[in-house]
Amino acid sequence: MLRHQLNNIKSRITCLLLGFLVATVLSTIPGQTGEWSVIAAAIIITSNEIVSKLVYQAKRQEDIILVIINDIKIGIIYGLFVDAFKLGS
């Protein structure tokens, strides 16, 4: 039982870090030209809302695919906040 919980925690932390990496990529690549910032922000917000709708309307909240996608989404949001604080300082 403890081994299963540790593997679950490890996989969730890995998904959060993957989302953080994706956020870094999403904030740096479109920002190189400065022209794609608005479009990239719209795509990120739209995909975030779609994932939230899928996750929180699901009958079973323990579905592993939905948990992984939600953890990646949370990592992306966290990564974008960290990038915003880096730019603001």
pLDDT tens-place values along the chain, 89 residues long: 666 666 788 888 999 999 999 988 888 877 677 777 777 778 888 999 998 898 888 777 677 888 888 899 999 999 988 888 887 76
Provide the domain count of the chain. 1
Structural domain including 63 reads: 2-88
Question: pTM value?
Answer: 0.81
pLDDT for the residue numbered 58: 77
pLDDT of residue 2: 60
CA dihedral 7, 8, 9, 12 (to 10 degrees): 120
What is the C-alpha to C-alpha distance for residues 18 and 89, in angstroms, rounded to an integer?
Answer: 25
